[in-house]
Amino acid sequence: EAQVTQNPRYLITVTGKKLTVTCSQNMNHEYMSWYRQDPGLGLRQIYYSMNVEVTDKGDVPEGYKVSRKEKRNFPLILESPSPNQTSLYFCASSLIDSQAPLHFGNGTRLTVT
Amino acid sequence: DQQVKQNSPSLSVQEGRISILNCDYTNSMFDYFLWYKKYPAEGPTFLISISSIKDKNEDGRFTVFLNKSAKHLSLHIVPSQPGDSAVYFCAARRYNFNKFYFGSGTKLNVKP
């Protein structure tokens, strides 16, 4: 089944404790991206990647890191999480095509205390 | 500054009637528009899209209308069903830019 898989689904952590949220897709998509969803703000892009070893900042990259060592994986790293990073995070992927929609994972609910 | 706006946070409709969800955008360079549906505890799923060269696209009960002069997008669901109850996001993309801009979502409740 074609899908984007994120892990974990739920994560509670404390300020400053490094964490990684994994994302994997099995559709051979070149493009991958991370979003956060906050009430009243919709989905805001954190980072994106056009292909292996190519990453770029989105609208809200502060406090996050990403890597794209393999085409299928795009982990999101929070080196020193803070409470304002408490949010719902989505990974997404698509083909590099002007008419290709994004496919989303099921989300990771992160709480930083 | 949000370039895609959904000004109605919620909408309630009776089963069998039409649901109309609206979306406005500010960037005239957008050329591809999409609607996503999101159920609780799931990721957004792609519903329907429209290119800027069209003004209407239909897929079963779902129709998207695009009014470029007004920079306005709408999604019509006819007839509405209780299973359509979800949050709907509109999104826009600029040609050759791999960046999607999302609205804040409209929560649709279809009452039986």
CATH number at residue B103: 2.60.40.10
Total domains present in chain B: 1
Tokens of A68: 């794209």
B98 has a pLDDT exceeding 80: no
Q: Provide, as residue numbers in chain A, all residues whose Cβ is less than 8 Å from the Cβ of B46.
A: 101-103
Provide CB contacts within 8 A for A14, sequence distance 6+: A81, A112, A113
A33 has a pLDDT exceeding 80: yes
Nearest Cα of chain B lies from the Cα of A69 at a distance, in angstroms, of 19
Q: Provide, as residue numbers in chain B, all residues whose Cβ is less than 8 Å from the Cβ of A103.
A: 46
% pLDDT > 90, chain B? 87
- Does any CB of chain B come closer than 8 Å to the CB of residue A48? yes
Q: Which residue segment(s) compose the domain that B16 sits in? A: 4-111
Strands (E), chain B: 4-5, 10-14, 19-25, 30-38, 45-51, 56-59, 62-67, 72-77, 86-94, 100-102, 106-111
pLDDT tens-digit series, residues B12-55: 999 999 999 999 999 999 999 999 999 998 999 999 999 999 99
Q: In chain B, whose CA is at the least distance from the CA of A90? A: B43
Provide CB contacts within 8 A for A39, sequence distance 6+: none
Contact indicator for A4, A104 with CB cutoff of 8 Å: yes
Band of residue B64 on the pLDDT scale cut at 50, 70, 90 = very high
Does B41 contact A105 at a Cβ distance shorter than 8 Å? no
